[in-house]
Structure formats: structure tokens, C-alpha cells
Chains A and B, each alone.
Chain A
Amino acid sequence: MSERLTRFFASRWGILLAGAAIGLLAPLLQKAGNPTNMGICVACFERDIAGALGLHRVATVQYIRPEIIAFVLGSLIAALLFREFKPRAGSAPIVRFLLGMFAMIGALTFLGCPWRALLRLAGGDLNGLVGTAGLVAGIALGVVFLKRGYSLGRSRPAPAPVGWIMPAIMLGLLLLLIFRPQFTKDGPIFFSAEGPGSKHAPILISLAVGLVIGFLAQRTRFCTMGAWRDVILMGDTHLFTGVAALFVVALLTNLALGQFKLGFAAQPVAHSNHIWNFLGMALAGLAFLLAGGCPGRQLFLSGEGDGDAGLFVLGMIFGAGFSHNWALAGVPDKLAEGVLTVGGPGPYGQAAVIIGLVFCIVLGITMREK
């Protein structure tokens, strides 16, 4: 039975189901309270967690997002049920941490991860198209490195704690979310009173949806980076089926719920600075490729015992701290009295994206398996 289910989830129907489920549930989470075109955004939600913990102090983006917790735990449950939980680590950990950091800096330049790029587009935000184009460009560059033998080296089986640390951290976050302790006067844990961080679905709904997605994604290996990579690298459309299903179902759901607004300018939590939307996501795409998975996939891998993926996730959260403390992140468009001010990253943010691209390109050229 277990083997038959495994084969189903590994089939095209399996990945189609996972993508369609995310495409349906993300707009419903928005309906239930999550920010606009941000039913699910792995990068944004990790950024909110960084804010809640006080790793950055931008008051509008601070919340411990239950979806992130549940993605890891849902994947853990699936991996345990199907005997795939395997503690492992040791594949260039410090490199993965920095890749996570720069992936986050790139994603927050655009204001979204590959998941949100699709969800933004499905909500009518055409900047999602520019972001996705950047993502694909970054992945295509990474494929060149892969073909030339790029590798972060092998991981090795590791003692049990290596695999349990990330699920344990997520349980810790869940406790912080429930009990909301305040560690110092005016100090963390922070929860936004206004802005995107204040908008969230009820905790139990977020947790339930996250568990379902975590479970399905672990079984099907859903990955928004791998989808493009496999098409470019070998014409394999398996994972792409999932991404396509996500987009189509999210579009239909948004249309049905009246959550669709077409255009470039002044979209919710977005900017229409095309160059930096493109370059930010190119950096993110390249970093995800070099680390072997999109931010969602890294969470799911960390739930099945992959300590290296866990470190990538922590790198992303750490990167979110820098991104907002140093004002690297893109600033949304502003529309005041009919006058549009196009947002985007400031000079430091632009420099950070360039530094990140250089870092990733150097890695792509120099990292080989010994």
C-alpha cells in the first residue's frame, strides 16, 4: 500500500495534485486573512518570523507564520509515515547558509519568493511575470554551472539530532506563537499591529493548510525552482506540471473570489521597478539552484532530516534580518492623490544584489566535487 501510494505521488498525477492544492489553498488563506497576493510566500513568511523574533525591527512585517512551522512538520509526518526520515548533513554547510542569505536578499528585492511570484501573477500583478523571468534567467545560468560539474559535495548520514533540530525549532516557534512572551520591555516577541504582518488567517487554519501542503509537497517533491531547472536542463516537465497547476488553479480561485486586479503599478506589497524585480529574482533563482531547491523545498527537506537544507532556511531568516535592518529590501510602489511613486530597492539593496550575484557566480565556477 505504502509503495503504491509512493508511486502515485511520484507520478504526474501526484505532482499535479500538490500544485493544484497549493493553488487552491493559497488564495483561500488570503480570503481567510493573509496579505493580498500573499496567501503563501515562503520568503515573506520567514521574513515575518525574523521580525517577530526581533532580528529586524520593521514593525509592519512581524509575525510568527504558522504556515512555515506546519510546512516542516507536515513534511516530517509524511517522511516518518513513509519511512523516509533520514538525518543527513555535511554538504558544504557554510555555503548553503550564505546561499540562503543571498536568496532571501534577492527575493526581498522583488518582494516575494517563486511561490509568491506565481501567486502575484495569478492575482493579476504583472510584475510577477518580470520576477519569474528573472527567476528563470538565474536558473538558466545555474544550469550552465551544473552542466560543467558544479556540486556542493555529498551529504552523509548523520546522528538523529541533526534531523530533529529543525522540527524542534519549529515546535519552539509554535510555542512562542501561542504564548507570545515578551522578553524585554518594548522587546520581542513582536507582532505587527498594522501592515502585512498584521494580516493573517486564524492560527488553526494556517496550521492545517500548512500541514496538508507540507505532507503533499514532501511526497511529490514539489519545487518551484526544480520545475524550471528540469525543463531547461533536460526537457523534463514533471515538476513543471505542479507549478503550472498551482498557477492555473490560483488564477481561477482568485477570479472566483474577486481577488484579481490586473496591472503593473501600485499592486499590493509590490513594486514595478522592472530591472530590480528581474535582478532580485535572478539572484534568488541562481541561489536556489545552487542549493538544490526553492525555499519551500528547503523547508520540506529540512522536515525529512536534511540538516543542510535546515541551515539554508536559517540562512534565509538571517538574511531577512540584514535585508530589513540595512534597508536592502524593495520598497512597494506608492500611489498618493493619483501620483505614482515607483518603489524598488535603494542603492544599498542594489549593491547587495550585485554582491550576491558575484558570490553565486564565483561558487558556480569554483565548486566541484573532489
Chain B
Amino acid sequence: MTKVVDARGLSCPQPVILARQAMEEGEFPIEVLVDTVTSRENVRRAATKAGLQVQVEAVGDEFKLTLTQ
């Protein structure tokens, strides 16, 4: 099952902290929901740095990042 991290509305750096916690649990794929470009880029950077594949999808005004190994 896909793990979903809802980080919408949270300010820096909480989206990244939550995404990293999910990454450390090691179950993929992970879906991270964010609502600002800042959070999107921060989560993308953290995931890329951890060697993960990142797919970004715009959902209305918000974004869904799918992290896979």
C-alpha cells in the first residue's frame, strides 16, 4: 500500500521532516502532498539526495510527489 504523507499547510521544514521520517521507515512508494512550490522543491531535493526517484504531479493548486526507490 502506498504510504501518504500529508504535509499541506505545514511550514518549513516540517514537510521535509515528515517525508524523511517516512523514507526512513523504508516502505515505498511514498506519496507526499504539499501545497507550496517551496515545499515541493525541498522534498524533491531531500528525496533526490537520498537516492530516490521523484515524480511530481500538480493537483489543482497543490502537488503530489511520488517517491520510489
Contacts and interface: CB of A to CB of B under 8 A. Distances in A.
Interface of A: 6, 10, 82, 84, 86, 88, 91, 146-147, 151-157, 221, 223, 226, 229-230, 233-234, 236, 238, 292-293, 308, 369
A233 B14 CA distance: 11
Contact of A154 (B8, B37, B49, B61): B8
Interface in B10-57: 10-14, 16-17, 20, 35-38, 41, 45-46, 49
B27 to A, nearest CB: 20
A154 B62 CA distance: 14
Contacts of B35: 86, 88, 157
Contacts of B11: 91, 152, 155, 292-293, 308
Nearest to A90: B9
A154 B9 CA distance: 4
B10 A84 contact: no
A37 to B, nearest CB: 28
Given A86-B35, A86-B36, 6 more contacts: A88-B9, A146-B17, A154-B10, A157-B35, A223-B12, A236-B49
Contacts of A230: 13
Contacts of B10: 151, 154, 369
Given A6-B37, A10-B41, A146-B17, A292 B9 contact: no
A238 B9 contact: no
27 contacts: A82-B37, A84-B37, A86-B36, A86-B61, A88-B35, A91-B9, A91-B11, A147-B17, A151-B14, A153-B9, A155-B9, A155-B11, A156-B9, A157-B61, A221-B41, A223-B12, A226-B13, A233-B17, A234-B20, A234-B46, A236-B45, A236-B46, A292-B11, A292-B13, A293-B11, A293-B12, A369-B10
A88 B10 CA distance: 11
A221 B13 contact: no
Contacts of A86: 35-36, 61
A362 B12 CA distance: 20
Contacts of B13: 146, 226, 229-230, 233, 292
Nearest to B14: A151
A229 B46 CA distance: 14
A122 to B, nearest CB: 26
Interface of B: 8-14, 16-17, 20, 35-38, 41, 45-46, 49, 61
A226 B38 CA distance: 13
Ranked 6 nearest A-B pairs via Cβ? A154-B9, A292-B11, A10-B41, A155-B9, A292-B12, A221-B38
A91 B14 CA distance: 13
A143 B49 CA distance: 21
A86 B40 CA distance: 15
Contact of B12 (A84, A153, A226, A308): A226
Contacts of B16: 234
Could you say which of A82, A84, A147, A155 has the most chain B C-beta atoms within 10 Å of its C-beta? A155
B38 to A, nearest CB: 5
Nearest to A151: B14
Contacts of B61: 86, 157
Contacts of A10: 41, 45
B67 to A, nearest CB: 16
A301 to B, nearest CB: 9
A340 B11 CA distance: 45
Contacts of B46: 234, 236
Could you say which of B16, B17, B20 has the most chain A C-beta atoms within 10 Å of its C-beta? B17
Contacts of A151: 10, 14
A236 B43 CA distance: 12
B36 A238 contact: no
A154 to B, nearest CB: 3
A108 to B, nearest CB: 25
Contacts of A146: 13-14, 17
